[in-house]
Amino acid sequence: MRKLLMAAAAIVTLLAGCGNQTGEEYIGKWVNIKSEKRTLDIERNGDGFMVRNTEPSAWDGKIETKNIPAVLKDGALQVQTGGLGPVLLMVDKATGHLTSGPLEYKRDK
């Protein structure tokens, strides 16, 4: 009986671990709260994430999308930018908004 209970506990633990992927709160489409022309689409990409950043070009104002890899580190989504170093994105538990500090996004409906 004891072996049966231990085996059942092990199976439940394994199944619970499979269904609990971290970073799910980041996945989806996000719209900047100040400009609807700025959006982030975040999806899984293997063990990491892909952030599709859509915004007007600084040069000519045309809408551009850049694909930026990201990883989950210490509960924050770490976006790998060019020469500026990584940018951390977090979901604010109080508002439900995605923020990097200066930028804030709400989940698109």
Give the chain's domains with CATH numbers.
23-107 (2.40.128.20)
CA distance 97 to 94: 8
pTM above 0.85, yes or no: no
Say whether pLDDT at 41 is over 70. Answer: yes
Say whether pLDDT at 19 is over 70. Answer: no
CA distance 15 to 35: 42
CA distance 28 to 102: 20
Query: For position 21, what pLDDT does the model report?
Result: 57
Average pLDDT over the chain, rounded to an integer: 83
Mean of pLDDT values over 50-73:
95
pLDDT in tens, 89-105: 999 999 999 999 899 99
Higher local confidence (pLDDT), 59 or 19: 59
